[in-house]
Amino acid sequence: MINRVRSWWRQEDKQQPLEGSFDNVPEHVAIIMDGNGRWAKSRGLPRIVGHQNGMKAVKRTTIAADELGIKFLTLYAFSTENWKRPKDEVDFLMRLPQEFLAIELEELIQKNVQVRMMGNKEELPKHTLAAMEEAMRRTEHNDGLVLNFALNYGSRKEMTDCVQNLAKQVEEGIITSADITSELIDKHLLSGGIPDPDLLIRTSGEMRLSNFMLWQIAYSEMWFTDIYWPEFNKNHLYEAVAEYQRRTRRYGGLTSS
């Protein structure tokens, strides 16, 4: 089903970002990988072929992110709303992690990538969760690129769970309401321990967030492209990073110059 590629970190492919600079590379890039279905439809193919080709883009993007020196790459793979899709499509999507990891895990381990998952584990099929957990366990001591899969992730669910958790701690006298700070909330979100995204990318021309990291992207730079996710490649990532490098982040303050 998926073409096996022997070695996927090909150094000879190394390329400078468009501006020619590895300075000021975003530490955390988050991507809303959208457009798999439309990519397939435009070729007269079933939607699942789009998802399969989307997986190749995941691989390309992971390699490119690592080469660029990005430290965290968060990929929105399945939202808490995606369960609304036809069962066949959901079943297919839930098989993709194990398919991807069966091929790539050894290489990810060798390349010092740490796999993480951000999302609600309870509703995932056992086989999906088992594949993710094996990947997380076997890469937990790696300290290279963090490849964070947002799988069964929804920002509102994440925030609701966080509020319930903190309310319970107040009820039980573990903390007081005054202890609830922005930093404490950060720690109780599924992204706890991962810095906020510096750069958010969405493919396929949609200009919305679709319940993705609503708290964490408060000051992220955003980059949208009409490219469908299965077509996304290293040049697109470099283009987004180069654009990021041209921007001035002010966080509500003023530019010092």
Please tell me whether 221 is known to bind a ligand. yes
* One-character DSSP codes across 84-103: GS-HHHHHHHHHHHHHHHHH
Report the nearest approach of ligand IPE to the CB of residue 6 (Å): 27
Cα R_g (the chain), whole angstroms: 19
253 is in an annotated binding site: no
Query: What would the two tokens of residue 221 be?
Result: 């730079």
Place of tokens 């509500």: 252
Find out whether 95 is annotated in a ligand binding site: no
- Out of Mg ion, ligand IPE, none, what residue 77 binds, judged by CB under 5 to 8 A for its kind, is ligand IPE
Q: What does residue 200 show for φ and ψ, rounded to 5 degrees?
A: -110, 130
CA 168, CA 172: separation in Å to the nearest integer?
6
Largest distance between two CA atoms of the chain: 59
Q: Is 34 known to be catalytic?
A: yes
**What is the DSSP-derived secondary structure letter of residue 149?**
E
CA 33-95-5 angle, 5° bins: 75
Q: Is residue 231 a known part of a binding site?
A: no
Q: Which helix (H) or strand (E) is 66 found in, with range?
A: helix 47-68
Active site residue 82: yes
Site for ligand IPE in 155-214 (CB under 6 A): 204, 206, 208, 210
Q: Does 233 bind ligand IPE (CB under 6 A)?
A: no
177 annotated to bind ligand: no
Residue placing its CB nearer to ligand IPE in the complex, 25 or 58: 58
Sketch the per residue contact string, 50 through 79, with ligand IPE: x for CB under 6 A, - otherwise. Answer: --------------------------xxxx
Closest distance to Mg ion from the beta carbon of 39 (Å): 10
The neighbour count for residue 8, using CB atoms within 10 Å, is 15
Q: Which residues are annotated as a binding site?
A: 34-39, 47, 51, 79-81, 83, 85, 202, 208-210, 221
Catalytic amino acids? 34, 82
Which residues bind to ligand IPE, rule: CB under 6 A?
A: 32-38, 76-79, 82, 93, 204, 206, 208, 210, 229
